[in-house]
Structure 1
Amino acid sequence: MATEDIPEAHTYVFALYAYDGDQPGDLSFKSGDLLEVDELPTASESWFQATNPRTGCTGMIPANYVTAERGYSAALDAFNRVSRKSAEALLESSSYKESFNYMIRPSTDNRALALSVRTPSEKVVHLKIFFNPRQHNCFIYREKPFDTIEDLLIYYMENAIPEVCTLQAYKPFRKFPN
């Protein structure tokens, strides 16, 4: 797939639990946040550096509070490191139609992520998920902010994105580990 218009590589992890950093250099986050990391930790690393796009902050996070494993998150499972054009092709493919009608991907605007959605008429619409570090939230429409990307996706699974459609994931998600 083409990567010519994709910003530099980052990996995302999903926050299984909330963490309130209590040491200088710790990164606080909410359960459901997607956190950006340069690389995943090794098995021997219990802490690693991440950035929370929702807050704009960077710091150390406990490895056991997050996962890169697919199956827990509507956001992480739908994340693909592809260009706009490749997103359209993937959303129109028969294999992807069995899983999701949407995809989260990097945006050419490094302050946002892109949400590509296949509508019932089979047209692919591209929206931006913006982050407001001052308010610690994210949104597609400024008047409807959400605490996390996961909250945003779940809301739009239950309520249509104006003039687009509802988001659909055609598979069950795993329960968070205790």
Structure 2
Amino acid sequence: MSMRTAKNGVDLALAIASLMQANHDLSVRLRQAGISSSELTAAREWTRASGLLRGLPERKFRNLFGAPETAAGGCMSYALRLWREHLFDVVVNSEGQVFYRGFRLRPERRPTLGPEPLEMFAAAETLRVGWHTESECHKLLGQPAQSFVWSPVSEWFYGPLPSDLYLTFAFDFGLLSSISFQPFIR
């Protein structure tokens, strides 16, 4: 199945995937969709040149990526072929520019996570890369001790643990991309 659209752009799912950090879940999704590494590379070049991360006028965004599944209150939600269990939200600012908000699980797919907050090791075993989002992580563990954002990547650090390591979550566009224990680098 081709991820190309009938327009001059790239499918929004492929554009987003092209900018994400490599991880097992993403590799599986790309392989199942039949997306080659050359197609992903071409999408990355197109996406970087398109201005997607810097913001696009709403009309241009809709021309490139089509109509959203839902739109209300300045937020548009897109269904993505690679992440059928999620929606990808974008917001329109007061100047009519579209910026990404990121992934969220569809309401019917949100898990029952149990009583909060979880102990850090339990949270690390509960949360799944490629499935959970910043929202579930925040619900389970609260505010991180430290966070860094390099759009579209963010890292959240919880701890320190007795070993002086931090439970670290990395996100791409708000979607969990890795879980690790590592020292906090200032």
Does TM, normalized by the shorter one, top 0.5?
no
Q: TM-score range by the shorter chain?
A: under 0.3
Larger Rg: 2
- The structure that is helix-richer by fraction is 2
TM-score with structure 2 setting the length: 0.26
Which structure has the higher relative contact order (CA within 8 Å, separation 6+)?
1
